[in-house]
Structure 1
């Protein structure tokens, strides 16, 4: 018997978020050939993104386009999803493990009387079962979980499941009417604090600074390196606590969890709380004056030296290459 997998896509800054394409790929990994994969676009002025989701292996995109959905509100988004589910009852719902996904997923699970597995980093189908892998204990261990019955809700960690290559498959777009309900909360204004033009959670390259940057100005060499590499700038909690940068840049157990292809740690000692947020990076480069710094134990490459000397040299060399 075929199943229906529904992907809840996200947009930000007038663009479809990369994690939405990765989440669609996660649904594809879970599905069998005769299963159906649909996507939901919620927001204001989001219809144009349906084509991008079609390229990600989605057969049908349900669009709920309404001014009341321009800013995220859990009650408004849940009401919109309920309308979509009237058109396409889901056997499984997939969301990105983002701020919105982490908030919305439990409400969706409760509405569907479904089980939930969060922060999934790998998916494997074994016969009639789908096995989900997720990290435990700040990435020190991993567990494999499966559902005994459906429906189910899954959130997918960004930068862990590769998006599907576009294949030109046709896609149906269905517009769903949304009579905005009476809501208990109203968003008056959204204050955005970003690490830069690139979202830390989705950045492929991150240059991160710790207390070793010594001041707010100490982040300037890191920003220059990140600009050359097309990456984002992050920070340890120590740098944020010291007032060198905004907490929006914080990576770690109490900050953002990131999994970039390249993580360059500058002046970061490697406290366990910070490692919890970045130890799953594909390649880790550490720059520190202390050869005994714990960060070197998890680094793939280590440079013992003053970051204020090493980082500008790296920036110059990358400029020549790129």
Structure 2
């Protein structure tokens, strides 16, 4: 039987352009620390910035023992280049497990990594354990109706983990990570795609949709007016999402779409306003911790999975809820 705790775990350290760790990275680092045993946690840091002393201290408190500043002769934002870089680093460290935050970009990089190495891939996992010498990931499928467990039989496991799946915990004995540079030469195949332009999204001040603890979602019932949805999201410190109908109508950008063909979210609190609860939308949010539905149609399918439902006009209910939240916050 293979002792996986004798091999290090490799984690992709996603960060913003100014070098701040993205929130879900702390979760997968916590997961890695619990799975690595004494072999250590190695972090892959794409070298568009340098990890600051504060970031290194935080990573050390979470159990990261080594940080590899990955330098490539091609753009690491390209999934093919990032996949090859992770393959090279996994080989150099002897890692048997690579963890990434579950996002569109990272799932594509995970697929590229699997093609390069022959690894077994599980995407959108919400848990990971070691059983009988194998990594076994848990995830929901078929619009959240089935809970599955996937055992990776390949020598290398690549797992993307949904945000809000792991409680962040510091290790008992913090360490100072060793920082080293890892240089990668991209293949001719990885170079076939080039980045010709990059446009930064305008800052909204709200958390990222895929990793937010609170998400307020607007559907057809908004009739294009997302102001009460945005106001409640701001009162809760949450992100704003939408159904496919709302994005197709042009009421909000497609990057806000939640569902099987959009972003998959698993916040601690989901609030759906004017959302019918069609199966393709439920597939992207049914793993949420607490589901609150506000809809004027008492027969809307969303009420079948809601923990708390309000039959009423969202343009009345949401402003009242936001006002009450702000009143309570001011008193606290």
| Residues matched between the structures, number | 318
Task: Work out which of the residue numbers 208, 211, 214 in structure 2 matches 1:205.
Answer: 214
How far has the Cα of 1:82 moved from its partner?
4.6
CA distance in 2, matches of 1:242, 1:219: 13
Give yes or no for the alignment of 1:132 onto 2:142. Answer: no
Alignment match, 2:192: 184
Task: Work out which of the residue numbers 62, 74, 94 in structure 1 matches 2:68.
Answer: 62
After superposing the two structures, state which structure 1 stretch, 128-137 or 246-255, moved more: 128-137
Alignment match, 2:47: 43
Give yes or no for the alignment of 1:316 onto 2:323. Answer: yes
> What secondary structure does 1:286 align onto?
strand
How far has the Cα of 1:165 moved from its partner?
2.7
Deviations 1:98-123 (CA, angstroms, capped at 9, x unpaired):
12210111222232232222221112
CA distance in 1, matches of 2:184, 2:7: 28
Q: TM-score, normalised by structure 1?
A: 0.90
Asked whether the 8 Å contact 1:63–1:173 carries over to 2, the reply is: no
Give yes or no for the alignment of 1:3 onto 2:7. Answer: yes
Structure 2 regions of 5+ residues with no counterpart?
none
After superposing the two structures, state which structure 1 stretch, 227-236 or 112-121, moved more: 112-121
CA distance in 2, matches of 1:99, 1:11: 15
Give yes or no for the alignment of 1:119 onto 2:124. Answer: yes
Distance 1:239 1:86, change over 3 A: closer
Asked whether the 8 Å contact 1:39–1:60 carries over to 2, the reply is: yes
After superposing the two structures, state which structure 1 stretch, 283-292 or 121-130, moved more: 121-130
CA distance in 1, matches of 2:282, 2:202: 21
How far has the Cα of 1:125 moved from its partner?
3.3
Asked whether the 8 Å contact 1:289–1:306 carries over to 2, the reply is: yes
Alignment match, 1:53: 59
The Cα RMSD (Å) is 2.3
Deviations 1:232-291 (CA, angstroms, capped at 9, x unpaired):
111111111222111111111111110011111001111111111111110111111111
After superposing the two structures, state which structure 1 stretch, 285-294 or 185-194, moved more: 185-194
Distance 1:160 1:177, change over 3 A: closer
Task: Work out which of the residue numbers 165, 174, 189 in structure 1 matches 2:170.
Answer: 165
Distance 1:87 1:283, change over 3 A: same
Distance 1:170 1:109, change over 3 A: same
CA distance in 2, matches of 1:131, 1:80: 25
How far has the Cα of 1:86 moved from its partner?
5.3
Alignment match, 2:231: 224
Structure 1 regions of 5+ residues with no counterpart?
none
CA distance in 1, matches of 2:325, 2:302: 23
> What secondary structure does 1:158 align onto?
coil
CA distance in 2, matches of 1:221, 1:117: 37
CA distance in 2, matches of 1:208, 1:13: 27
Q: TM-score, normalised by structure 2?
A: 0.88
